[in-house]
Structure 1
């Protein structure tokens, strides 16, 4: 039974879902990093919110950990590269609190437009300063959207309902998607110059950190109002204070800060500033939604192999996983075969699918090929860290999908290229379940890839098989299965033959040397699957 730790407070529905799916769950919250390190090795999964910090040190102690689920969008509190290197899947729940966060941004826009917090404080203090609080209408104003993803698109929809014009800056926003959203796609400088209100909805990355810098704020329309319910590091807070003081920015509403909890910030006390303590996802509905989603996602993975909303591995639904599983087993064996035959000389890799395989999600198949290939370098490789190991080695990976169906109803072909050679292998599924090698180096050969095997290339001449059998028999090597393919030099005579032998136990180097010394042998390699 898989075991999950919930280390941050979340809706009890999460634990209910885990138990209903047959997952053992412990709810232990409020622990120090050392206390968490002491117990994390007992768990296959970790469900967190924003309090738990998943550091490289914690991951080192997580000897059994397979998956981390973040109930929410941001994963700033997770060392994703370290998790990837360790082979731990990192998931988030990007949709559970999207509406709540978008509504909070809209509420902040209203608060800025009508100076609601200041008017409330003044009125409750016994003042009646009706003429002091002169707001602005939202109708016909231009909203500048920085980040047009899931939350940004909801904000745009709500803003259009308020009869605002929406311009959007997002490098990943296509022209077609912009039309579908009803927004105008612009570059950042154009947005800064035109927007009456600016709202940020982008993750914090090296590319977005400080996107509203001092220089960017200077390019804004004078009197702009800025809302940030995304990540604090997106805005230069010192520069924002200066812009508020000078009147370049008429108002700012912040739900997030560069340092949280924000108990001391240079912005505090600045006029025309609205602040909330990271409440974007703080509604009853959102808290329940993200708890349910993270529990369902972790359960799908631990029980069925489904991967949803993963940040460091290709996703595949729980429905896809059973169909993909035999293909991934085949792909891993093909990758392992190429890796064992070619070693570290590979510089590029092509993964082709055709027939029934071409109808599937190819990303997990490619990841499985890389996992098999990279196992030549490390015995701790899996689908998560294999792509990172491949990238570290500068391996160029290409995916090809063919709609055609050839001699086999489904086929996966792996081609590895190095400085001096090219190795191509192909496999299929027999009975839609059993992985089988069907081609190697242009030679048709059908064999399972399982256990200990010997790969031999030799001249196709009479008597060789007898000599090989005698040599292995004298060395006490028992042949389990014998599979032969050959390349025809012409219509009547053979050129080279390819042999794949399964044997009952690993064959030592001395025996391989004897085989290599046989007349006509060109290559011998011991394999293990």
Structure 2
């Protein structure tokens, strides 16, 4: 029986035809996604669901999706899909991460031109029958310094376009290597230097804990007087109220925003201010981009439904069904090892070295590598997946190497991950026990045996008496329950580590209490995706 796909949002006729040409039965109902109850009523008949942003794939929808195998999102954002619920249901979630890069970059460049020459205000004035030529004095882009915050896929295209405009480009990106910056023809700088030098600042980073309010009131005060700021990336990267104040004071000469902290943005501190250009999240809104992502998602879904090939999946690695049965726990371990390294590393990574020892060396190492790299990269880019992670790493100039060796220790097989930065090397190793549960077995060369939980606490200290009691008492006094407590040291009186598996996320005040004791060299809360 041919697979059946429901398209519940507007997709191009060409995308619909791809399904038909591949022998897939397709039901094109572009307005159905707006009716949650009706969608829940009919979703059980389909093997695949193709969507844009209007359809909300909730836990309720997934609960009714008894035959659903894949959800394909034509676009990059998947906030409208409950990925945890999809994973539990065994439904793959795919997106098309590279279909709208050029379109979004071009919009940022267009917004920069618009705010430099006050084009929207001048247009409105002229349409009103006025001829206020002297009122709209602009600035040239040629010779100006553009500060690019985030030099990844889209940011990299903006850098290239800006250089074509004869602008000087400086870039801040913790994951941008010096070699990659040289190849791009940009100058890599720290954030404070970018703020002080840039005539224009454009943002191209995802919204994460580390990038939220990256242009805070404090950082806006560090900018060059007369700077113009463009945000076509994500809302919440800029303190909008602080920016409004800076615009009113004249410190910031203009701003161009396509994204806002709250969307749809029916009101905002930036609205109706002079020389502020606003658009309603149009970064990906070109006919070419919409067509590209529609065609891509149709091809990806058809490939999976007909051959089992997995492309651009957010919740599943690119492996065959046969491999998945054996590799599942090892893929989970690979992600945990990468996540540990990623959460511990703040400097730009130059290289990732992955060692496979024993039985694991006979598995699909490409998929395991992707799992490790995705785990590392997710801290900086939550949208990265096992398919796109190696591409992102390669674009950042990160060298990835793999070593496969025969069984060399007490474990039947293990994986060791080492990252190299300009300052240090950091390593962690793990294995999978016979019960199928991944474990950390070595950190910084110190042997341990640690169960992996969603919420963990990692500490380092000099090997002195009282650390166990201090940790236990502090946790107990603050109502933090310890599920598992693992210790290790390199030698008596040397360096020691502790890894605590706790029931809930560590409260900030408990973290500060531990740091304030002066007994620890490092105190680091960790989070892992554990099903």
Q: TM-score, normalised by structure 2?
A: 0.62
- 1:387-445 alpha-carbon deviations (Å, 9 max, x no partner): xxxxxxxxxxxx99545699xxxxx96459xxxx99689xxxxxxxxxxxxxxxxxxxx
Query: How do 1:105-184 and structure 2 match up within 5 A?
Result: 105-184=108-187
- Quick one: which of 268, 280, 283 aligns to 2:271? 268
Q: Residues 149 and 334 from structure 1, CA distance in 2 versus in 1: closer, same or farther, beyond 3 angstroms?
A: closer
- 1:470-501 alpha-carbon deviations (Å, 9 max, x no partner): xxxxxxxxxxxxxxxxxxxxxxxxxxxxxxxx
Q: Counterparts of 1:87 and 1:422 in 2: how far apart (Å)?
A: 22
1:310 is aligned to 313
- Report how far residue 364 of structure 1 moved: 8.4
Query: How do 1:15-414 and structure 2 match up within 5 A?
Result: 15-30=16-31, 31-314=34-317, 316=318, 327-328=323-324, 331=327, 352=357, 357=362, 361-363=366-368, 402-403=403-404, 414=413
User: Secondary structure in 2 aligned to 1:274?
Assistant: strand
- 1:346-396 alpha-carbon deviations (Å, 9 max, x no partner): xxxx964789957851328989xxxxxxxxxxxxxxxx99xxxxxxxxxxx
Conservation of the 8 A alpha-carbon contact between 2:205 and 2:233: yes
Q: Counterparts of 2:280 and 2:369 in 1: how far apart (Å)?
A: 40
Q: TM-score, normalised by structure 1?
A: 0.62
Conservation of the 8 A alpha-carbon contact between 2:7 and 2:50: yes
Q: Counterparts of 1:205 and 1:55 in 2: how far apart (Å)?
A: 23
- 1:133-161 alpha-carbon deviations (Å, 9 max, x no partner): 11111111111111211111111100010
User: Secondary structure in 1 aligned to 2:293?
Assistant: helix
Q: Residues 205 and 423 from structure 1, CA distance in 2 versus in 1: closer, same or farther, beyond 3 angstroms?
A: closer
Q: Residues 85 and 187 from structure 1, CA distance in 2 versus in 1: closer, same or farther, beyond 3 angstroms?
A: farther
Q: Counterparts of 1:56 and 1:254 in 2: how far apart (Å)?
A: 33
Q: Counterparts of 1:102 and 1:351 in 2: how far apart (Å)?
A: 39
User: Secondary structure in 2 aligned to 1:270?
Assistant: coil
Q: Could you tell me which runs of 5 or more consecutive residues in structure 2 were left unpaired when the two chains were aligned.
A: 332-354, 373-384, 387-399, 416-430, 436-531
- Report how far residue 100 of structure 1 moved: 1.0
- Report how far residue 21 of structure 1 moved: 1.6
Worse overlay, 19-28 or 351-360: 351-360
Conservation of the 8 A alpha-carbon contact between 1:228 and 1:254: yes
Q: Residues 79 and 176 from structure 1, CA distance in 2 versus in 1: closer, same or farther, beyond 3 angstroms?
A: farther
1:527 is aligned to none
Q: Counterparts of 2:76 and 2:10 in 1: how far apart (Å)?
A: 16
Q: Counterparts of 2:140 and 2:328 in 1: how far apart (Å)?
A: 60
Worse overlay, 165-174 or 59-68: 59-68
1:10 matched to 2:11? The reply is: yes
Q: How many residues of Structure 1 are paired with residues of Structure 2 in the alignment?
A: 368
Q: Residues 166 and 86 from structure 1, CA distance in 2 versus in 1: closer, same or farther, beyond 3 angstroms?
A: farther
Conservation of the 8 A alpha-carbon contact between 2:7 and 2:27: yes
Q: Counterparts of 1:353 and 1:162 in 2: how far apart (Å)?
A: 54
- Report how far residue 177 of structure 1 moved: 1.8
RMSD: 3.5
User: Secondary structure in 2 aligned to 1:191?
Assistant: helix
Q: Residues 262 and 87 from structure 1, CA distance in 2 versus in 1: closer, same or farther, beyond 3 angstroms?
A: same
| Larger Cα-atom Rg | 1
Q: Residues 279 and 422 from structure 1, CA distance in 2 versus in 1: closer, same or farther, beyond 3 angstroms?
A: closer
- Report how far residue 95 of structure 1 moved: 1.5
Conservation of the 8 A alpha-carbon contact between 1:146 and 1:198: yes
Q: Residues 292 and 243 from structure 1, CA distance in 2 versus in 1: closer, same or farther, beyond 3 angstroms?
A: same
Conservation of the 8 A alpha-carbon contact between 1:334 and 1:414: no
Q: Residues 147 and 423 from structure 1, CA distance in 2 versus in 1: closer, same or farther, beyond 3 angstroms?
A: closer
Query: How do 1:495-510 and structure 2 match up within 5 A?
Result: none
Q: Could you tell me which runs of 5 or more consecutive residues in structure 1 were left unpaired when the two chains were aligned.
A: 336-349, 368-383, 386-398, 407-411, 426-529
Q: Counterparts of 2:358 and 2:322 in 1: how far apart (Å)?
A: 14
